[in-house]
Each structure stands twice: as C-alpha cells, then as structure tokens.
Structure 1
Amino acid sequence: MKGYVYYSEKESVRNKAFIDDLTNESRKLGIELNLLVEDEQPDSDADFILFRDRNSERAALYDAAGFRLFNRAEVNRIANDKLRTFELATLLGVPVVPTRKIRSIDEINTYPCVLKTVDGHGGNEVFLCTSALDAASFFNDFHDRKLIVQPFIESGARDVRVFMIGKEVIGAVKRTGNGSFKSNYTLGGSVEKYILSSWQEKDAMTIAKAIKSDYVGIDFLLLPDGRWMLNEIEDPVGARSFYDTCDVAIAGKLIGYIKEKISGE
C-alpha cells in the first residue's frame, strides 16, 4: 500500500515531528508514506492522500482525480468556514455559538461581541470588540475578507477540543487562555486532559458522523453552568496539545484507521 501526506511547504517544516511519526507508523504496517508538498503531484497509483492543509479547492482537485482523501474536500470546506459550521450544527441540533455574516459595523447590535474572519484559524483572526471603535479597527484590518460576528460568550477562556478519528472519540483536552479570552494552546494557553461525559461524546460523534470526517478536532466552549457550545471544527487539526496530555499514539491510530478503511473499500 502506498500513500501520501500533503502539507503546504511552510506547514511541512512546522509539523516535521508529526510527519515523522506518521511515516514510522506507516512503515510498521507495511505502508509506503511519502510527503507531498505544494504543487508536487502524487503518483496515479497512490492508494490514498492524507490531506493536511486548509485548501478545499486543492482537495477537490484530488477528489475529482479519483484519489481517496482523508479528509475529503467537503469536510475541509465545512470545517474552514465558520458560518457553514454554524449552519450544520444548527441543523443537527448541537448547541452552537450564534454566528452570522456581517458586512459593516452598522450591523452590530450590541457590545461586547466577537469578530472573526470566516476562514481564520489558530485564534489569530479573532477579536473581542467592546466598542464601535474596536470593530472599525477590525474591519479596517480585514476589509477584503468574509467576516462573521458572534456574541461574547463568557467561558472563562476555557474550551474543549475533542479529537475524532472516524466516528470514534480518541480523546479530549481542556484549553484555558492565559490573560486572553482565547484558549488556543499555540497562543500561550494551558492544556490538560479532559474526560467527556456521555452527552458530550454524543454531540461530537453526531458532528463527525454528519460530515463523514476521518480525522478532525471539534472545539466547544465550556460555559460556567456546565453546558457547552460548538465553536469550530478543525481540519487539519493540530495534535500538540493531545501529545502533551494524552497517552494515545494518535499517529498510529490514524494510520491504522486509514489502512482499515482502504482495505475495506
């Protein structure tokens, strides 16, 4: 069996340790796994492509060419569009942060609110606005992007990222922000292992089943009253926080899942 793991050039350097893990685990299962970067083309006889980029158009090209993608292009498209994520969760009956598209600050009814680019990730294009002046600054910085607005939800800068492989919950981590309302680990937040309740597992599994994902992270805000609300779906999902808190070899689980899926098709 032969496959590829696709990254942008920049992310291939940043994720070298994970790529090495994937390669080693593939070798154990008799799989030849090669790195595919930017405009490099896979061999036509490849059994699969593990797609680790936020480029649904490129993923769609591989889909159309007949390659088996993990995740497929439609998962990438939904996960990297926060408005589509909100619409999906609403249809599924999963609690979700209210989200709407916005074109001008005149459409903001109350402050504080949270403004985001529709396709941003890592918390870098998210801004808490307490006034029209704050909002105007955000609009100025991202005037050429699609934007959404959400109410500010008090969560104590805490959220939970659930890691899913297929329909199985592999584990979860609780992230807490450090001096910010953002909880992202890469922005300096702290992480700890989190044990999901049965109803929380059900919410995560409902989403993964609906989008037919192979490997995603699903982020929920933790509310003070014990409830939670879906915030984002991450594809590709980074596993640094998982490696630091959980004892599951996620690269091995993922490669084993891919082999099982390919062998059964």
Structure 2
Amino acid sequence: MEAWIIYEQEDAEKNKAYIDWCITEADSLQVELKLVYVHQVCFGIKNHQLFIEWNHSNSLPDFVIMRTINDLLSRQFEFMGVPVYNAASVASVANDKAKTHQLLAQHNIPMVDTLFLNRSSLIEHEFHEFPFVIKEVAGRGGKQVHKIESNQEVKDIIPQLNGEQFIVQSLAKSGKDVRVFVIGKQIIAAILRESNQDFRANHSLGGTARPYLLNQLEKNTVDKIVELFPFGMVGIDFIFDEDNRPLFNEIEDVVGSRTLSKHTDINIVRLYLEFIVSNLK
C-alpha cells in the first residue's frame, strides 16, 4: 500500500520529526508513506477529465494524509477515488470558525455568544460590552485572536487583521482550555492547557499542559460533535464558563500532538495509521 503525506514545504521543515515518525510507523504497517510538498502537485482538468500529477507521474496513492489546508486539492483526490484524511468535508468546516460554530449551534452544543462579521461590518459595528475577542475565521494556534477592551481598540486592531471574515465572541474563563484528541469516533485522550500570563492557553504561546480526565458531561458533548463528522484525526478544543462547564471553542483539523506526546505514552501516529488502514479494508 502506498500513501502520501502532504505538507507545505515550510511546515514540513518545522515538523520533520513528526513526519519521520509517521513514515516509520507506516512502514511497520506495510504502508510506503511518501512526503509530498503541495507545490510539487499539479492538478486540474485535462482532456475533459480531472487529473493529479506528482513529479510528472499520474500514479495515485491508496490514500492521502493532508497536513495542510487545501480544500480544493482534497476534493480533487476524493473525486478521483483517493480517500483523504481528514476528508474535505471535515476540513472545509473545521478550518472556518464561523462555519463550525454555525453547524454545532444547530445541535445544541454549548458555546459562548458569537457574532459573524466581515471586515466592513466589523468597522461599522458599535460594541457595548467589553472585553471580547476577535478571531479570524481561518486562524490557527491562537495567533489570530485579539482581546478587545474598547471600540477604539477595534479601530486600532483592524489594520493588523489579515482576513475578511471574523467571529466576535464574549470572553470565557481566561487562560484555560482542554484539547480532546479524537480518531474516528473514539476519544483518545485530553490535555488541559493553562496560562497565567495570557487569556489564550495555547501551549505554543507559553501555556502549560497536563493530561486531563474528561467528566461525563464533557464526554457526552464530544460524542455529540463526533457523530456530525467523518473524522480521521482532530483536536476538539473547549474553554470553560465561570461554573467550569465546557464550551465549544474550535476543531483543529491539522492537529499537532507535541503536548500529547510530551505528557503521555500514547502513540497517536500509530493509532491514526491503524485506523486508516482498517478503514480502507
């Protein structure tokens, strides 16, 4: 069996150890996993048919692990019969915070009050309750999240925003969240992330992390979300209200596993590849 793991080259260089880990685990499962850079893939329509080429070859893999956000490429593979993990249907929702909240709200998943605004609406909107946060809908890793204390701060932050679509949310309990790692329909583990220095608890932004045992309410909430998607592997993030009840925050499509690997003995890559191989049989 042959598979591709697809990255932007810059991201692949930062994640070499993870990629090597994936290739090693795949080899133990008799899967030849090849690293493919997005810029090396040529795809489109030729002679009225969809095509994909890599290194001037049109030979396609048995499956793809998509480690970049490229909905069009994911759909091209799927239309040509190649399974993609995560599926395009997952990526297209999970990588847009507005779409994710819109979908989950229909299924009564608890979350903070949220406004959907484009850039012009954000400029014109008069806010009355502070503080709140502005998030770019395609932001990742907490880096496109801004805490706002006044209408003047909104005006000041707008030139720094890259996107055109945003969500504006009331502030939950600061500096604490939980990431739940999910493969398929199964909860694998949860990691509590905390920060005393920032309202964001992201480990990459200096927060601490430790294993976390989900209570029954939290498990039930995750299970409700899991039933809505054909997940491969994702991280589902929750923040907390003042009574420590979970509030949905986001789904991480291209989820990293540094904190999980650092604080547990769980071989998440092995579990993921075993799930994929079993799913394809």
Task: Map 1:79-90 to 2 at 5 A.
Answer: 79-90=94-105
Tell me, yes or no, if structure 1 residue 227 matches structure 2 residue 239: no
Partner of 1:2: 2
Pick from 186, 190, 214 the counterpart of residue 172 of structure 1: 190
Written as runs of structure 1 = structure 2, the 5 A alignment for 1:1-265 is 1-41=1-41, 42=54, 44-102=59-117, 103-107=121-125, 108-142=127-161, 144-153=163-172, 155-263=173-281
Tell me how far 1:30 sits from its aligned partner.
0.7
User: Residue 96 of structure 1: CA displacement?
Assistant: 1.5
Deviations 1:150-183 (A, max 9, x none): 1111x13100000000000010000012411001
**AA paired with 2:243?**
D
The one-letter amino acid paired with 1:64 is F
Q: Which residue of 1 aligns with 2:51?
A: none
Which is worse superposed, 99-108 or 70-79? Answer: 99-108
1:185–1:241 Cα contact (<8 Å) kept: yes
Amino acid at match of 1:168: Q
Structure with more contact order per residue of length (Cα contacts < 8 Å, sep ≥ 6): 1
Closer, same or farther: CA 111–210 of 1 in aligned 2, 3 Å = same
Change (3 A) 1:191 1:259: same
| TM-score of the two chains, using structure 2 as the length reference | 0.89
CA deviations over 1:201-238 (Å, ceiling 9, x no partner): 22112212202111100000023312010011101011
**Counterpart contact for 2:132–2:147, Cα < 8 Å:** yes
Q: Distance in 1 between matches of 2:134 and 2:144?
A: 8
Contact 1:165–1:257 (8 Å) recurs in 2: yes
SS in 2 for 1:34: strand
Q: CA, structure 1 residues 143+9, in 2 after alignment: closer, same or farther (shift >3 Å)?
A: closer
| Counterpart AA for 1:207 | I
Q: Which runs of 5+ in 2 are unaligned?
A: 42-53
Give the 3 Å change call, closer, same or farther, for CA 44–100 of structure 1 in structure 2. Answer: farther
Secondary structure of the corresponding residue to residue 120 of structure 1: coil
SS at match of 1:195: coil
| Aligned counterparts of 1:35 and 1:144: Cα–Cα separation in 2 | 30
- The letter for the 2-side match of 1:120 is G
Q: Distance in 2 between matches of 1:122 and 1:98?
A: 21
Compute the displacement of 1:97 (Å).
2.2
Query: Bigger CA drift: 112-121 or 50-59?
Result: 50-59
Structure 2: distance between partners of 1:189 and 1:199: 25
- Quick one: distance in 2 between partners of 1:184 and 1:126? 11
Offset from partner CA, 1:119-148 (integer Å, 9 cap, x none): 111111100000112111221212652122
**CA-atom RMSD in angstroms:** 1.5
Which protein shows a greater Rg? Answer: 2
CA contact (8 A) 2:177 2:238 kept: yes
CA contact (8 A) 2:174 2:200 kept: no
Q: Secondary structure at the match of 2:225?
A: helix
Whether the 8 Å contact between 2:177 and 2:201 is mirrored in structure 1 is: yes
Aligned residues: 262
Change (3 A) 1:87 1:254: same
Give the Cα separation in 2 of the matches to 1:143 and 1:69: 28
Aligned CA distance change for structure 1 residues 79 and 144 (closer, same or farther; 3 Å): closer
